[in-house]
Amino acid sequence: MLNFIITETYSAMSILAANRVAAALINKPDLVMAMPTGGTPVGMLAEMSRMAKEGEADFTKTFSFNIDEYIPLAKDDPQSYYSFLQHHFYQHAHIPTENTFVPDVQAADLTAECIRYEQIIVDHGDFDITILGIGHDGHIGFNEPHATHSSVCHLIDLKTETIEANTRFFASKDDVPKQAITLGMGTILRSKEIVLIANGVSKAAVMKQLYDCTRIDPLFPASFLLLHPNVTVIGDREAASLFNL
Ligand code: F6R
Protein backbone atom coordinates (compact mmCIF):
# COMPACT_ATOMS: atom_id res chain seq x y z
CA MET A 1 0.00 0.00 0.00
CA LEU A 2 1.17 3.51 -0.77
CA ASN A 3 2.03 6.00 1.94
CA PHE A 4 -0.69 8.68 2.03
CA ILE A 5 -0.51 12.05 3.81
CA ILE A 6 -3.65 14.17 3.86
CA THR A 7 -3.47 17.89 4.56
CA GLU A 8 -6.33 20.22 5.40
CA THR A 9 -5.61 22.68 2.61
CA TYR A 10 -4.08 23.01 -0.84
CA SER A 11 -1.52 25.36 0.65
CA ALA A 12 -0.44 22.79 3.24
CA MET A 13 -0.19 20.12 0.52
CA SER A 14 2.00 22.43 -1.54
CA ILE A 15 4.29 23.32 1.35
CA LEU A 16 4.70 19.68 2.37
CA ALA A 17 5.64 18.67 -1.17
CA ALA A 18 8.09 21.57 -1.45
CA ASN A 19 9.61 20.51 1.87
CA ARG A 20 10.23 17.02 0.49
CA VAL A 21 12.21 18.51 -2.35
CA ALA A 22 14.09 20.84 0.02
CA ALA A 23 14.93 17.91 2.31
CA ALA A 24 16.36 15.94 -0.61
CA LEU A 25 18.32 19.03 -1.63
CA ILE A 26 20.07 19.22 1.73
CA ASN A 27 21.58 15.78 1.11
CA LYS A 28 22.41 16.46 -2.53
CA PRO A 29 22.89 20.06 -3.76
CA ASP A 30 23.05 18.79 -7.37
CA LEU A 31 19.66 17.15 -7.03
CA VAL A 32 18.17 15.68 -10.22
CA MET A 33 14.46 16.43 -10.30
CA ALA A 34 11.53 15.53 -12.56
CA MET A 35 8.84 18.19 -12.41
CA PRO A 36 5.18 18.16 -13.45
CA THR A 37 3.08 20.96 -14.87
CA GLY A 38 -0.65 21.68 -14.70
CA GLY A 39 -2.86 23.09 -11.99
CA THR A 40 -1.74 20.93 -9.07
CA PRO A 41 1.94 21.92 -8.74
CA VAL A 42 1.50 25.70 -8.97
CA GLY A 43 1.45 26.12 -5.16
CA MET A 44 4.39 23.78 -4.62
CA LEU A 45 6.48 25.58 -7.25
CA ALA A 46 5.56 28.92 -5.66
CA GLU A 47 6.74 27.63 -2.29
CA MET A 48 9.99 26.31 -3.77
CA SER A 49 10.49 29.68 -5.46
CA ARG A 50 9.85 31.44 -2.14
CA MET A 51 12.38 29.17 -0.41
CA ALA A 52 14.95 30.04 -3.07
CA LYS A 53 14.27 33.79 -2.82
CA GLU A 54 14.49 33.79 0.96
CA GLY A 55 17.65 31.71 1.04
CA GLU A 56 16.02 28.64 2.56
CA ALA A 57 16.92 26.42 -0.38
CA ASP A 58 19.58 26.68 -3.06
CA PHE A 59 18.47 25.30 -6.42
CA THR A 60 21.34 26.79 -8.40
CA LYS A 61 23.16 23.45 -8.72
CA THR A 62 20.10 21.30 -9.37
CA PHE A 63 19.00 19.70 -12.62
CA SER A 64 15.34 19.78 -13.59
CA PHE A 65 13.55 17.76 -16.25
CA ASN A 66 10.05 18.28 -17.62
CA ILE A 67 8.04 15.11 -17.15
CA ASP A 68 6.30 15.71 -20.45
CA GLU A 69 5.88 18.18 -23.28
CA TYR A 70 3.13 18.81 -25.79
CA ILE A 71 3.83 18.17 -29.46
CA PRO A 72 4.57 20.43 -31.34
CA LEU A 73 4.97 23.41 -29.02
CA ALA A 74 8.28 25.26 -29.25
CA LYS A 75 10.22 25.55 -26.02
CA ASP A 76 9.47 29.29 -25.82
CA ASP A 77 5.77 28.94 -26.72
CA PRO A 78 3.87 30.42 -23.75
CA GLN A 79 1.72 27.26 -23.66
CA SER A 80 4.65 24.85 -23.59
CA TYR A 81 5.30 22.88 -20.45
CA TYR A 82 8.88 24.16 -20.49
CA SER A 83 7.58 27.75 -20.38
CA PHE A 84 5.35 26.75 -17.49
CA LEU A 85 8.29 25.60 -15.38
CA GLN A 86 10.33 28.59 -16.47
CA HIS A 87 7.53 30.93 -15.41
CA HIS A 88 6.57 29.21 -12.14
CA PHE A 89 9.93 27.98 -10.96
CA TYR A 90 13.20 28.24 -12.89
CA GLN A 91 13.38 32.02 -13.17
CA HIS A 92 12.68 32.46 -9.46
CA ALA A 93 14.98 29.67 -8.30
CA HIS A 94 17.81 30.72 -10.63
CA ILE A 95 18.29 27.27 -12.07
CA PRO A 96 20.87 27.64 -14.86
CA THR A 97 19.19 27.18 -18.24
CA GLU A 98 21.73 24.51 -19.17
CA ASN A 99 20.52 22.50 -16.16
CA THR A 100 16.91 22.45 -17.38
CA PHE A 101 15.74 19.80 -19.81
CA VAL A 102 12.70 19.15 -21.95
CA PRO A 103 12.17 16.91 -24.98
CA ASP A 104 12.64 18.78 -28.26
CA VAL A 105 9.16 18.13 -29.61
CA GLN A 106 10.04 19.93 -32.83
CA ALA A 107 12.82 17.48 -33.66
CA ALA A 108 12.55 15.92 -37.13
CA ASP A 109 12.76 12.44 -35.66
CA LEU A 110 10.67 12.31 -32.50
CA THR A 111 11.48 8.67 -31.79
CA ALA A 112 15.19 9.50 -31.81
CA GLU A 113 14.42 12.49 -29.56
CA CYS A 114 12.75 10.22 -27.00
CA ILE A 115 15.86 8.02 -26.96
CA ARG A 116 18.06 11.12 -26.59
CA TYR A 117 15.99 12.51 -23.66
CA GLU A 118 16.01 9.15 -21.86
CA GLN A 119 19.80 8.96 -22.29
CA ILE A 120 20.29 12.43 -20.77
CA ILE A 121 18.33 11.26 -17.73
CA VAL A 122 20.43 8.10 -17.47
CA ASP A 123 23.61 10.17 -17.85
CA HIS A 124 22.50 12.25 -14.86
CA GLY A 125 22.15 9.10 -12.76
CA ASP A 126 18.32 9.07 -12.99
CA PHE A 127 16.04 11.22 -10.87
CA ASP A 128 16.65 11.70 -7.18
CA ILE A 129 13.08 12.90 -6.81
CA THR A 130 10.07 12.90 -9.12
CA ILE A 131 7.00 14.97 -8.35
CA LEU A 132 3.83 13.76 -10.05
CA GLY A 133 0.30 15.00 -10.48
CA ILE A 134 -2.43 12.54 -11.40
CA GLY A 135 -5.00 12.64 -14.20
CA HIS A 136 -8.65 11.77 -13.75
CA ASP A 137 -8.01 8.51 -15.61
CA GLY A 138 -5.05 7.69 -13.37
CA HIS A 139 -2.36 8.84 -15.78
CA ILE A 140 0.99 9.89 -14.37
CA GLY A 141 3.16 11.95 -16.63
CA PHE A 142 1.24 11.24 -19.79
CA ASN A 143 1.33 7.49 -19.27
CA GLU A 144 -2.28 6.92 -20.19
CA PRO A 145 -4.24 3.69 -19.60
CA HIS A 146 -2.63 0.62 -21.25
CA ALA A 147 0.73 1.65 -19.81
CA THR A 148 3.50 -0.86 -19.16
CA HIS A 149 5.87 -0.81 -16.19
CA SER A 150 9.10 -0.77 -18.15
CA SER A 151 8.38 1.90 -20.76
CA VAL A 152 10.94 4.63 -21.30
CA CYS A 153 10.47 8.10 -22.76
CA HIS A 154 7.96 7.84 -25.63
CA LEU A 155 5.40 9.50 -27.86
CA ILE A 156 1.81 9.31 -26.70
CA ASP A 157 -1.61 10.09 -28.12
CA LEU A 158 -3.51 11.92 -25.40
CA LYS A 159 -6.85 10.43 -24.40
CA THR A 160 -9.99 12.47 -25.05
CA GLU A 161 -10.51 12.82 -21.31
CA THR A 162 -7.03 14.30 -20.85
CA ILE A 163 -7.53 16.71 -23.74
CA GLU A 164 -10.83 17.81 -22.22
CA ALA A 165 -9.29 18.24 -18.76
CA ASN A 166 -6.53 20.42 -20.24
CA THR A 167 -8.86 22.58 -22.34
CA ARG A 168 -9.03 24.98 -19.40
CA PHE A 169 -5.48 26.10 -20.19
CA PHE A 170 -6.25 26.87 -23.87
CA ALA A 171 -8.64 29.11 -25.81
CA SER A 172 -10.61 26.09 -27.05
CA LYS A 173 -10.52 22.30 -27.09
CA ASP A 174 -9.26 22.37 -30.68
CA ASP A 175 -6.17 24.25 -29.52
CA VAL A 176 -5.13 21.53 -27.06
CA PRO A 177 -2.28 19.44 -28.50
CA LYS A 178 -3.27 15.85 -29.18
CA GLN A 179 0.14 14.27 -28.67
CA ALA A 180 2.99 14.57 -26.22
CA ILE A 181 6.36 13.13 -25.32
CA THR A 182 6.35 11.74 -21.81
CA LEU A 183 8.71 10.00 -19.45
CA GLY A 184 7.87 6.34 -19.39
CA MET A 185 6.66 4.43 -16.39
CA GLY A 186 10.05 2.75 -16.21
CA THR A 187 11.83 6.12 -16.25
CA ILE A 188 9.64 7.31 -13.38
CA LEU A 189 10.04 4.09 -11.40
CA ARG A 190 13.86 4.41 -11.57
CA SER A 191 13.56 7.62 -9.53
CA LYS A 192 14.90 7.24 -6.00
CA GLU A 193 11.91 9.03 -4.48
CA ILE A 194 8.44 9.78 -5.84
CA VAL A 195 5.93 12.27 -4.44
CA LEU A 196 2.46 12.40 -5.98
CA ILE A 197 0.29 15.41 -5.22
CA ALA A 198 -3.45 15.86 -5.75
CA ASN A 199 -5.97 18.44 -4.69
CA GLY A 200 -9.60 19.35 -5.09
CA VAL A 201 -12.86 17.42 -5.35
CA SER A 202 -12.28 16.67 -9.02
CA LYS A 203 -9.47 14.32 -7.92
CA ALA A 204 -11.52 12.60 -5.19
CA ALA A 205 -12.58 9.62 -7.34
CA VAL A 206 -9.13 8.91 -8.73
CA MET A 207 -7.56 9.35 -5.30
CA LYS A 208 -9.99 6.83 -3.82
CA GLN A 209 -9.10 4.44 -6.64
CA LEU A 210 -5.41 4.92 -5.81
CA TYR A 211 -6.04 4.51 -2.08
CA ASP A 212 -7.96 1.25 -2.63
CA CYS A 213 -5.50 -0.04 -5.21
CA THR A 214 -3.72 -3.27 -4.21
CA ARG A 215 -2.53 -4.61 -7.56
CA ILE A 216 -1.03 -3.39 -10.81
CA ASP A 217 -3.63 -2.52 -13.43
CA PRO A 218 -2.36 -1.22 -16.81
CA LEU A 219 -5.73 0.51 -17.23
CA PHE A 220 -4.94 2.50 -14.09
CA PRO A 221 -1.36 3.72 -14.67
CA ALA A 222 -0.88 5.17 -11.18
CA SER A 223 -1.16 1.60 -9.84
CA PHE A 224 2.41 1.00 -11.10
CA LEU A 225 3.58 3.13 -8.19
CA LEU A 226 2.94 0.06 -6.03
CA LEU A 227 6.16 -1.32 -7.54
CA HIS A 228 8.24 1.49 -6.00
CA PRO A 229 9.58 1.42 -2.42
CA ASN A 230 9.55 5.16 -1.75
CA VAL A 231 6.32 6.83 -2.85
CA THR A 232 4.44 9.44 -0.84
CA VAL A 233 1.00 10.57 -1.95
CA ILE A 234 0.09 13.99 -0.57
CA GLY A 235 -3.53 15.02 -1.01
CA ASP A 236 -5.63 17.79 0.37
CA ARG A 237 -8.83 17.05 2.28
CA GLU A 238 -11.04 17.57 -0.77
CA ALA A 239 -9.05 15.10 -2.86
CA ALA A 240 -9.28 12.62 0.02
CA SER A 241 -13.00 13.19 0.61
CA LEU A 242 -14.06 9.71 -0.60
CA PHE A 243 -11.96 7.67 1.83
CA ASN A 244 -11.18 7.83 5.53
CA LEU A 245 -7.69 8.74 6.63
C1 F6R B 1 1.69 17.28 -16.43
C2 F6R B 1 1.50 15.85 -16.16
C3 F6R B 1 0.14 15.33 -15.91
C4 F6R B 1 -0.60 16.13 -14.82
C5 F6R B 1 -2.01 15.60 -14.63
C6 F6R B 1 -2.77 16.41 -13.61
O7 F6R B 1 3.05 17.58 -16.57
O8 F6R B 1 2.42 15.10 -16.17
O9 F6R B 1 0.20 13.97 -15.52
O10 F6R B 1 0.12 16.03 -13.62
O11 F6R B 1 -2.69 15.64 -15.85
O12 F6R B 1 -2.92 17.71 -14.08
P13 F6R B 1 -3.51 18.87 -13.16
O14 F6R B 1 -2.53 19.14 -12.10
O15 F6R B 1 -3.69 20.05 -14.08
O16 F6R B 1 -4.80 18.35 -12.61
Sequence-ordered list of residues with C-beta below 8 angstroms from that of 151, at least 6 positions apart, any chain: 143, 184, 185, 186, 187
- Which residues are annotated as catalytic? 68, 137, 139, 144
The pLDDT score that the predictor gives to residue 233 is 98
The ligand 1 site (C-beta within 6 Å) comprises 36-40, 67-68, 81, 133-135, 139-142
* Low-confidence spans in the chain with pLDDT less than 50: none
Q: What is the largest CA-CA distance in the chain?
A: 49
The pLDDT score that the predictor gives to residue 217 is 96
3-state secondary structure the chain: CCEEEEECCHHHHHHHHHHHHHHHHHHCCCCEEEECCCCCCHHHHHHHHHHHHCCCCCCCCCEEEECEEEECCCCCCCCCHHHHHHHHHHHHHCCCHHHEECCCCCCCCHHHHHHHHHHHHHHCCCCCEEEECCCCCCCECCECCCCCCCCCCEEEECCHHHHHHHHHHCCCHHHCCCEEEECCHHHHHCCCEEEEEECCHHHHHHHHHHHHCCCCCCCCHHHHHHHCCCEEEEEECCCCCCCCC
pLDDT one-digit tens code per residue, 106-130? 999 999 999 999 999 999 999 999 9
Residue 35 Cα: closest atom of ligand 1: 7
The pLDDT score that the predictor gives to residue 100 is 98
What's the CA-to-centroid distance between 36 and ligand 1, angstroms? 6
Determine the residue of 86, 132, 163, 207 to mutate for testing ligand 1's pocket, defined as the one with the most ligand atoms within 8 A of the Cβ atom: 132
The residue whose CA is least distant from atom 1 of ligand 1 is: 37
The pLDDT score that the predictor gives to residue 1 is 77
The pLDDT score that the predictor gives to residue 74 is 94
